[in-house]
A and B are shown apart, each in its own frame.
Chain A
Amino acid sequence: MFGLEISNVTKAFGAHVAVDDVSMSIPQGEFVCFLGPSGCGKTTLMRMVAGLESPGEGAIALNGRDITRQPANVRKFGMVFQSLALFPHLSVGENIAFSLRLQGQDGRQRKARVEELLTLVRLPGMEKRAVSQLSGGQRQRVAIARALAQEPPVFLLDEPFSALDAKLREEMQIELRLLQKRLKITTILVTHDQREAMSMADSIAVMGDGKIQQYGSPLSIYRAPANRFVANFVGLSNLLPVEVLDADTVRFGANILKVAPMPAPTLSTQATLSIRPEDIQLTAANAPGDNTVSGRITFIRDMGSSVEVHLDCDGRDVLSVVQPRDWIGAGTGDVAHLRLPQNQCRVLAA
């Protein structure tokens, strides 16, 4: 198949298993994010893809060819490091031309390619500058241009925007996504920032404890988290302890709730109901209909663009985020009714 295939890859450092039996396939030209908290093994997995670490077990293949034992300097996957790792003793142009020089290109070819890449990352005419003269965002672009100079089969980025301020980070994210779409290059980006992953990736691999917890499109992961870890890590979720009654019914305290049908329900067991704060509808009066829970308002935060309401339902803290136009205007201590739409209620293993 065309693309990158990771099969049963495991990597341990001493007793610590950093990457635990990971398998995934990344189609040619896709933009994939490895998303997870620090220490989840996402950087180690990327370094194995680059060839900078060798997997203890498992295999990595590119376009159907096994590259598990191929060293990094033969794979030549362009990589942007978290520290950027620009060579401080070389100018911007020499940094970008580093791989071209190793390929044995002559001065004219190198100059032309450097100019082309600098235009691509919107830094034309900067080749003579020293790296130390550049701003954070400019260095970022030089690192991207340098990694792309060799026309790598796979483009890797390890938390590339973590050192930038919020505004510049968003700009760079958009720019990188446009660039990737234009070049149609298979790209992996490692990040702990779920916003970054959601806004850029075709697919997200949520990682935790060295394993891939869920792999799918950003929206499918957000709408249907596979387990508690994903529900907690990607966006905010209300997680409520429930008892499973049948394939689409659970009991939360004294309330019987309809939920999205479970594929393989285990009856009368404890499970977790997950619902996003923005999916909960608040009403002042108890409207007839299924799936309502009542709760007492404990805290209100009016953010202007939205209202965050914390409620105490059966001793559990539940967060509801409502649009200002839907806000019932209640105060702290009032009782409100929460409508939980059936399709947004997902039951996860406890």
Chain B
Amino acid sequence: MTDLALPLKAEDAPPDHDRLVLAGLLSLPTLFLVTLCLIPLFLLLQLSFAHRGTGGLWSPGLELTQYAQLLTPQFLKVALFSFSLALTTAVISVALAFPVAYFISRMKRRAQIAWLVGLLSTLSLSEVLIVFSFQVLLSGSGGLVKALVALGVMASPHSLYPNFAAVMVCLVYLVLPYIILFLYPAMSQLDDDIPAAATTMGASPARAFLTVVAPMVKGPLLSAGLLVVIFTVGSYLTPLVLGRPQQWTVGIIISNAAMTTGNMPLAAAQAVALVSLMAGLLGLVRLLTKGGSPAS
């Protein structure tokens, strides 16, 4: 072996020491993943096959009784509603967040920082606080209703909730800062010369946007939408507080099964169904955007 070959070899295969450091660094997140995610998931799975006893108790078993109950029209209807709610929220919030993220990324550095810090600070408000604030805001004696009556838009004061719109508005409000922050890096990477180049080749600004900009941001927008679906498909508090029973989601049904009915195995089976549905959706999106999912 010549001397020249030595450094090359060192680069190709890191020495044992480096490998140990790498293993040490990776072991911590792995530990977190196993203890905080995989073990609870396994327990949930085990519980979903358990035999239901009386008075909220259960005994270990391997039966499919609870899974059979998932196929009832009531549960399927709620599951379908949860998904359409999540999907609608995703479409609305991404449609709103996309231009906002784009304009923030085109601002001066200082203004960008101010906006990003502002958005980040809204994340410090808890979901509970926001949902109950919406309840106050939309109530018959709330400020919004008073303003609408004063402006003559509303004839007499009445509460603006519970209904689908109230649930929708609150969910969009909850996810919007996340989605703007999620889309911001992708938008900052977008080169302004690209649409400009398209216009010098004869494309109108609208056409340049559709043929050049849109395909380039397709990946990040899809990932953002998926993120919203994951966030909202299991939503619990918002539909419970601001919705009618028709707007109840799988989250509320699971809670009812566990807390009201005391049927823990059923709640577990419903949760497993929700998780597997999400996993399936993730896999599908990955398949659709294979090779081209930046930012995700």
Interface, chain A (partner B; CB < 8 A): 50-52, 71-79, 81-85, 87-89, 98-99, 102-103, 146-147, 149-150, 156
Contact = CB atoms under 8 A, between A and B. Distances in A.
Contacts of B204: 73
Interface string B98-137: 0000000000000000000000000000000000000000
A305 to B, nearest CB: 34
B241 interface: no
A81 B192 CA distance: 11
Given A88-B216, A89-B216, A102-B207, A72 B200 contact: yes
Given A82-B193, A85-B194, A89-B215, A71 B203 contact: no
10 contacts: A73-B201, A73-B207, A74-B202, A76-B200, A76-B201, A77-B200, A79-B197, A85-B194, A87-B212, A150-B201
B162 to A, nearest CB: 45
Contacts of A76: 200-202
B201 A102 contact: yes
Which of A50, A52, A85, A99 has the most B CB atoms < 10 Å from its CB? A85
A87 B202 contact: no
B200 A52 contact: yes
Interface residues of B, number: 19
A267 B201 CA distance: 56
What 9 A-B pairs come out closest when comparing CB atoms? A85-B193, A99-B201, A85-B197, A81-B193, A72-B199, A79-B200, A73-B199, A102-B202, A89-B215
Contacts, number: 68
Nearest to A156: B200
Contacts of A99: 201-202
Contact of A81 (B196, B202, B212): B196
Interface in B196-242: 196-205, 207-208, 211-212, 215-216
A73 B197 contact: no
Contacts of B208: 73
B191 A83 contact: yes
Nearest to A71: B199
Given A71-B199, A85-B191, 5 more contacts: A72-B196, A73-B205, A76-B200, A81-B196, A85-B196
Contacts of A82: 193
Nearest to A73: B199
A98 B193 contact: no
Contacts of A149: 201
A87 B198 CA distance: 9
A80 to B, nearest CB: 9
A213 to B, nearest CB: 27
Contact of A103 (B199, B202, B207, B215): B202
B200 A50 contact: yes
A201 B215 CA distance: 38
Contacts of A81: 193, 196-197
Nearest to B201: A99
Nearest to B215: A89
A102 B203 contact: yes
A74 B201 CA distance: 9
B268 to A, nearest CB: 44
Contacts of B198: 87, 98
Contacts of B200: 50-52, 72-73, 75-79, 147, 156
Nearest to B191: A83
A56 to B, nearest CB: 19
